Copies of this chain bind each other. A is one copy, B any other.
Amino acid sequence: MNKISKAVIARLPRYYRYLDELRQQKIERISSKELSELMNVTASQIRQDLNNFGGFGQQGYGYNVQYLYDEIGKLLGLGIRHKMVIVGAGNLGQAIANYGNFKNRGFEITALFDKNPELIGKKTAGGEIKDISEIYSYVKENDIEIVALTLPKGPAKEIGEKLVECGVKAFWNFAHTDLKFSSDVIVENVHLSESLMKLTYRISEKNQKSKQ
């Protein structure tokens, strides 16, 4: 696979979501034009994006929805099982543990970890909440591939570093800081407050316009 730009990769999950909706509506084929209207992007962007991976479409026939859905799913690594644990079993950690769609897409959440004694022992859809001190042996013994960090930034950095020493190679980070580890460790940082700020930017912009 050639090196694909970050912008293209960032758009793949959105294609995947729209194709899933089409599939559920029993739609079998879709042209890049129809898909572009639905997704509010240009047809040429869709064709360019998918051409990075060899195309998937047939000139004049559009895309086979199920096929394109499956192929993008494979590109996104969703065909195989990913074992994941969650560090920080507060509301956000539990929200992720209880989100059923992850399981359908190959994510198997096997445990949550927290330091709060009131939470330890509680059962969730993502398994039992365990004592944080047990995580290091747990990830080694259970071949955990992904660790979701849903805890404050201070402990996130420290616990993340120890987990890297234990062999964890991928983090889904919700702590309010960009975590960086050695170059072979993959980190996907999610900053919820940043999307809220984009919203207020657009509110300010609109308010300024209406004053003009």
Query: Interface residues, chain A, CB within 8 Å of chain B?
Result: 1, 4, 9-10, 12-14, 16-17, 21, 75-78, 82, 90-92, 94-96, 98-99, 101-102, 105, 107, 145-146, 169-170, 172, 176-177, 184, 186, 188, 190-206, 208
Contact = CB atoms under 8 A, between A and B. Distances in A.
A195 B190 contact: yes
Nearest to A187: B199
A21 B75 CA distance: 36
Contacts of A99: 192-193
Interface of A is mostly: helix
Contacts of A75: 201, 204
Contacts of A205: 1, 4
A196 B200 contact: no
Given A17-B191, A92-B91, A95-B92, A172 B201 contact: no
B76 A200 contact: yes
A198 B95 contact: no
B204 A198 contact: no
A176 to B, nearest CB: 7
Contacts of A198: 9-10, 12-13, 188
Given A1-B205, A77-B201, A188 B196 contact: yes
A101 B14 contact: no
A193 B13 contact: yes
Contacts of A94: 91
14 contacts: A13-B198, A16-B197, A17-B191, A76-B200, A78-B200, A91-B94, A92-B95, A105-B193, A170-B199, A184-B206, A188-B195, A188-B199, A190-B192, A190-B195
A201 B91 contact: no
A194 B90 contact: no
Given A13-B191, A77-B197, A188-B199, 17 more contacts: A13-B193, A13-B194, A14-B194, A17-B177, A17-B191, A75-B204, A76-B197, A90-B98, A91-B94, A102-B196, A145-B203, A146-B200, A169-B203, A172-B195, A186-B202, A186-B206, A188-B195
